[in-house]
Amino acid sequence: MNASYRASLPSGVSIGSFEPLFELGRGGMGTALLARAVGVAGFERLVVIKRLHPHMLDRVEAVNRFLDEARVAAHIRHANVVATHLVGTDEDGHFLVLDYVEGASLEELVDRVALKRNAIPPPIVLRIGLDALAGLHAAHEARDTSGQRLELLHRDVSIQNVLVGRDGVARVSDFGIAKSAIASVQTDKQYIVGKLMYLPPEYLRREAVGPDFDVYSLGLTLWIALAGTTPWPEDDDAKMVTQILINGVPRISTVMSVAPQLDDLLAKACAMNRADRFPSARAMMDAIEHIGRHTGWLASHAEVSDFVESLMGADLKEREKRVTRRLKAGTDPELPIPLRKPVHTPGNEDVTEEVIPVVKPRPLWPFVLGALVLLGFLCTWLLVKASTPVQAEPSPPPPAPTPSAAGLEIPTAPPAPTPSVAPAPSAVSAPERPQKPKTIARSVSAPTPAPTPQPAPTATATSDGISKKNPYRK
């Protein structure tokens, strides 16, 4: 894994670890990485890690805006809002851990349809709009932990920030420039934030704003999704500001054939005067549902899912394969070790996973050690047997000899010739002198008139010095 991915991984996160897979996108302020979150008991899921570009870390306003996204999103709990799970800081700066939406942005859907010289069907657009409005309404109604309304504004609704999942559900993302306490806030006095095309006239005039700010932006978002183009495709920023302030957003019926109900809906959402606009996201939701009930133009989530699959299915499958390849590649040793360890199979593209601890192949050393111990016992037995006096068969006609310990010298015995014994051919000859006389001598505690056979050594210590202690067992 290269250094940029390594730097994008938060370190020391108490809830688990994250394994970055690859980059999903890069914006003006930060980079989004697809990552795998791992935890105990085999828990894992795909998430998005978002962090600032290194050159933005010295800009206080950029860092504050980045952290504002986490603080704001933490109070919005809704199915149509991309959830923020974690905000943290490591040696590389701040990072956010967000929901991963397996799908595409509305911008990608518009572009893909445009390549086919087609347009997104109005029922699909209305369902996406209804979902996005539900998320915005949840943001506008959000309360803090004490129950006080935060009066949030998104202020950056656009086709880039509406994500449509493979499940057919649309979600609002990127609350990076959201504003709270809108009752007392007019505009930023230093500069204008947000995408210029989506900003309502009152904001450009530095007037007070309200929830209809986001309604205007979403209305223009749906306008672009239906038309497949912007209201002012050839204008630069200066001319665009003039159009917004003087002429307003043109009716969509001027660029395409559309039902009067949709034409009126978008005209009301993008009205120049706030008094003519939907006052809230909830009010526009009610209008879309009314159209759906009377015309049947409101697609189901299953129909949106099929539409996304038809446009992006191949791309999403390729992304799945890329995730699989990345997981097969293993884990960089400098990254936190996941609880599930990828195991590579040579010559096979499929990789299985084993839960740590990994069961290793059984080693051979226990068998070798057992053989050595057995051999030690055998050698000990042979040495003891060799040290024991052997009764030789007497040869006629000489009389039977007196048995004596072979090779043992008894200091108190009177000097006398030792009768020689001629062993029979089948008898085992005792060695004339033992291999270890000192060891045998120590085993005799006192001189005796007759040699006594010594017992076999115990299993704990042998006369050969072979220890039975297992050297591999600490």
pLDDT digits (tens, 9 = 90+) for 193-220: 568 999 999 999 999 999 999 999 999 9
384 part of a folded domain: no
As given in the structure block, the two tokens for residue 390 are 């052997």
Residue, of 447 and 230, whose pLDDT is higher: 230
Q: Tell me which amino acid residue 102 is.
A: E
Residue, of 440 and 223, whose pLDDT is higher: 223
Alpha-carbon dihedral angle through residues 283, 284, 290, 295, given to the nearest 10 degrees: 170
pLDDT score of 41: 80
Query: Residue 42 has what DSSP assignment?
Result: G
Of all residues in the chain, the percent with pLDDT exceeding 70 is: 63
pLDDT score of 26: 84
pLDDT score of 65: 80
For residue 135, give the CATH number of its domain: 1.10.510.10
Please compute the mean of the pLDDT values over residues 376-396 and round it to a whole number: 59
Half-sphere exposure of 235 (CA within 13 A, CB side): 14
pLDDT score of 57: 85
Alpha-carbon dihedral angle through residues 449, 450, 451, 454, given to the nearest 10 degrees: -90
pLDDT score of 327: 84
17 part of a folded domain: yes
Residue 100 has pLDDT above 90, yes or no: yes
Query: Residue 153 has what DSSP assignment?
Result: B
Residues 115-131: tens digit of each pLDDT: 988 999 999 999 999 99
- 129-138, 226-235, 368-377, 465-474: range with highest mean pLDDT: 129-138
48 part of a folded domain: yes
Residue 420 has pLDDT above 60, yes or no: no
114 part of a folded domain: yes
Residues 216-266: tens digit of each pLDDT: 999 999 999 999 999 998 888 899 999 999 999 999 999 999 999 999 999
Beta-strand ranges (E) seen in 324-390 are: 340-343, 352-355
62 part of a folded domain: yes
Please compute the mean of the pLDDT values over residues 311-321 and round it to a whole number: 94
Locus of tokens 């893909």 = 112
312-318 long-range Cβ contacts below 8 angstroms, 24+ apart: 312/103, 312/104, 312/108, 312/109, 312/112, 312/166, 315/104, 316/102, 316/103, 316/166
pLDDT band at 378 (very low <50, low <70, confident <90, very high): confident
Taking alpha carbons only, the member of 120, 94, 93 closest to residue 105 is 120
pLDDT band at 277 (very low <50, low <70, confident <90, very high): very high
Q: How many domains does the chain have?
A: 1
Residue, of 165 and 462, whose pLDDT is higher: 165
Sign of CA dihedral 51, 57, 59, 64: positive
Residue numbers of the domain that contains 244: 3-340
pLDDT score of 178: 65
Residue, of 49 and 58, whose pLDDT is higher: 49
pLDDT score of 382: 67
Mean pLDDT of the chain: 75
Return the exposure string of 81-90: e unless at least 16 CB atoms fall within 10 Å of the residue's CB, then b. bbbbbbbbee
As given in the structure block, the two tokens for residue 207 are 């007037």
pLDDT score of 458: 47
pLDDT band at 413 (very low <50, low <70, confident <90, very high): very low
Please compute the mean of the pLDDT values over residues 133-143 and round it to a whole number: 95
13 part of a folded domain: yes
pLDDT band at 422 (very low <50, low <70, confident <90, very high): very low
234 part of a folded domain: yes
Distance CA 431, CA 448 (A): 21
Please compute the mean of the pLDDT values over residues 16-28 and round it to a whole number: 81
Of all residues in the chain, the percent with pLDDT exceeding 90 is: 42
Query: Residue 149 has what DSSP assignment?
Result: B
